[in-house]
Amino acid sequence: MALENRLDLRLSQKLILTPQLQQAIKLLQMPQLELAQVLNQELVDNPFLEESLEEPEAEAEAYPEEEPPVAVSDDNSDTEISFDNLTSIGVDDYFDERSSDGRDLGYFSPGIDEQPSYELFYTKKPDLYDHLLWQLRLCNSDDEVRKTAEAVIGNIDEDGYLRVPDEELASALHTDSETVGAAVALVQTFDPQGVGARNLKECLLLQLDYLGLGQTVVGKIVSDHMDCLERKKYSLLVKLFNTSMDEIMAAVKIIEGLEPRPGRIFSSTDTNYVVPDVFISKTDEGYQIVLNEDGMPKLVLNSGYRKLIARKEQFTKEEMEFLREKLKRASELIKSLDQRNKTIYKVSASILKFQGDFFDMGIQSLKPLNLKDVAVDIGMHESTISRVTSNKFLACDHGVYSFRFFFSSSIQSDTGDISSTLVKDLIKKTITEEDVKHPLSDQMIVDKLKEQNINIARRTVAKYREELRIPPQNQRKRYE
């Protein structure tokens, strides 16, 4: 079969994401803070964009009538002053004259300027690494051990644990395991107690040794019976140690008072605050939806650059292509932002339509809702609704909620379908009100929900309890 080249025409349909559509999708799923950062960066990069600043009108102020200017003699004039006038000036007059115009009297200065305190310029909060390194520099250990200990400190994580095996440290530092062990033991004597441990058990034992309780019942529980402690099998511990429940509970209270994460006090994790994207408030005319534009730059096209680009003869071909590309990008960005705001408003209005009872009465009136219902209501694709509701928050009279909070599956009950979010809230409330000495089992929670005409299976309660990060019955039990 001979090979040949030929031209064929074929018609086909393909879904292609244009750069404009990609930008619109990207902006649509951005949360409030991230979008503000992107817009501020665009203001820096694109000369055709500028921020519209609405300046308040200047209020008329009544200024006091100015006094006529006073003639002041020139200090540099060469006018001759008589000797009698000079001798008639007293010391007090001289000082009054020198100090009245703000001039330094010179010899009243101490001669040495007092330097400001160094702490005024030290803004970095010492972290765990700095704290441990400071203690290492105060030690009188062997140079090889000190050098290895510095490497050990560098491998301690923010919780205060040493996650790197001794063999790996010895290989990286070209030393032996004995030196690494001595360095680790040295670091474990530092403050905070428990730092440098490989696991939770070693961390607790280090703290107990510091308290002098390593060889007591408390230390033996931690070293040999952590599984019983985790499952709260206190009766078994009473049999193992042949002691009373009061002594076991006293040991448990000591263990509960230890710090499982010794590096936590040096943590410098910044607090992330939730910024609502939409505000829904109730007014006399009904509910009002307001998009949050606080901190968001209002972008407009720069009229000066638009006029400048009309003078084509002043620019080269490459410069004109650059300016046109920037102008096109600026126009598309403004259109995409406008489309984003309209879409978020439509989705918020649809949520208000479906969940109107929630905004009136609270979470007990939350209804089942899915993305498809909102998509059909506003005539958009389900994937668009998913992007709009991702990482965005809504503020109302009942608090600040994620957009995804209003979407939940339905559970059948005697009174009709109810929201799974409502069921989770009822489970959480039921467990909060339980007797800590006699906590409720999952089956008991099922029975209590049946009293409210909510029929669900025990495995569903266990599933929702795990999603709420609530421990099982035996781990919730408290002993006084």
**Residues 392, 309 share a domain:** yes
- Residue tagged 């489309």 (tokens): 339
DSSP state of 197: B
Is 113 domain-assigned? no
**Residues 452, 351 share a domain:** no
pLDDT of residue 364: 84
Is 3 domain-assigned? no
End-to-end CA distance of the chain: 91
Is 39 domain-assigned? no
pLDDT of residue 233: 84
Under-50 pLDDT residues of the chain: 56-84, 86-91, 94-95, 98-99, 102-112
pLDDT of residue 64: 40
Which residue in 100, 116, 117, 98 sits closest to 108, CA to CA?
Answer: 98
Query: 284 Cβ partners below 8 Å, 6+ apart?
Result: none
**Residues 240, 148 share a domain:** yes
**Residues 254, 173 share a domain:** yes
Which residue in 214, 226, 223, 221 sits closest to 241, CA to CA?
Answer: 221
Distances (CA, A) of 142 to 1, 125, 135, 182, 183: 83, 30, 15, 10, 10
pLDDT of residue 12: 78
**Residues 452, 394 share a domain:** no
Write the DSSP assignment of 3-69 as a string of letters.
----------------HHHHHHHHHHT--HHHHHHHHHHHHHH-TTEEE---PPPPPP--PPPPPPP
pTM of the model: 0.63
**Residues 232, 177 share a domain:** yes
In three-state secondary structure terms, 147 is: helix
**Residues 282, 402 share a domain:** yes
Instruction: Please identify, among 406, 438, 455, the residue that sits at the C-terminal boundary of a domain.
Output: 406
**Residues 293, 191 share a domain:** no
**Residues 443, 419 share a domain:** yes
Instruction: Please identify, among 385, 406, 427, the residue that sits at the C-terminal boundary of a domain.
Output: 406
Is 47 domain-assigned? no
Is residue 301 within 8 Å of residue 326, measured between CB atoms?
no
**Residues 231, 314 share a domain:** no
Write the DSSP assignment of 352-403 as a string of letters.
HHHTHHHHHH-GGG---B-HHHHHHHHT--HHHHHHHTTT-EEEETTEEEEG
Cα separation, 373 vs 23, whole angstroms: 26
Is residue 469 within 8 Å of residue 428, measured between CB atoms?
no
Question: At 448, which CATH number?
Answer: 1.10.10.60
pLDDT of residue 196: 92
pLDDT of residue 294: 85
pLDDT of residue 65: 42
Is 66 domain-assigned? no
By residue range, what is the domain housing residue 465?
410-476
pLDDT of residue 436: 82
pLDDT of residue 75: 46
**Residues 454, 381 share a domain:** no
Instruction: Please identify, among 357, 389, 406, the residue that sits at the C-terminal boundary of a domain.
Output: 406
pLDDT of residue 131: 92
Is 217 domain-assigned? yes
pLDDT of residue 15: 63
Is 17 domain-assigned? no
Is residue 157 within 8 Å of residue 164, measured between CB atoms?
no
Is 38 domain-assigned? no
How far does CA 428 lie from the centroid of its chain?
25
Condensed to tens digits (0 to 9), the pLDDT of residues 101-120 reads 544 444 444 444 555 555 55
pLDDT of residue 348: 94
- Residue tagged 């007059």 (tokens): 93
How far does CA 57 lie from the centroid of its chain?
38
Cα separation, 435 vs 450, whole angstroms: 19
Cα separation, 99 vs 105, whole angstroms: 7
**Residues 400, 294 share a domain:** yes
pLDDT of residue 54: 64
DSSP-derived pairing of the beta strands 278-283 and 393-396: parallel
Condensed to tens digits (0 to 9), the pLDDT of residues 59-71 reads 334 334 444 443 4
Number of domains the chain contains: 3
